[in-house]
Structure 1
Amino acid sequence: MRVYWLCPQGVTLYLNDRTLFLSLSGENRVLAINIETQEVLGDYTTGEAPDGIGYSPLVLQKTISY
């Protein structure tokens, strides 16, 4: 894998401190990586050239009212 082409731009840790999210600007995607095993847990397509990433524990819910 040619890391220079991937252009890692941003990194953040998930709440469990074992999952790292890495934005890859050159590939237009974000990887979720297990820090202990170095296994890729998820590979997510993004918009063009993601240049950062953040995490929020906030969960949004859809409210239905009649």
Structure 2
Amino acid sequence: MALQNHVIDSDEPVSLGGEGLAPDPRELMLAAFNACMTAVFVQEARAKVSPLPSDNPYYIGAIYE
């Protein structure tokens, strides 16, 4: 699949007739869902906490004070 200038490879495991060289479609779906949820979390956290530390993706502390 080509997306903008990026290529996302997909493959099935050897046990299902693939070559096992890339994530299978289920893994890609879970990764996309995780990326979406992370983006929403960061967007909401930035709206509630000003500013979020940009150099560290792991923020420890209370969001609601």
TM category, shorter: under 0.3
Normalising by structure 1, we get a TM-score of 0.23
Higher fraction of helix: 2
Find the structure with the greater CA-based Rg.
2
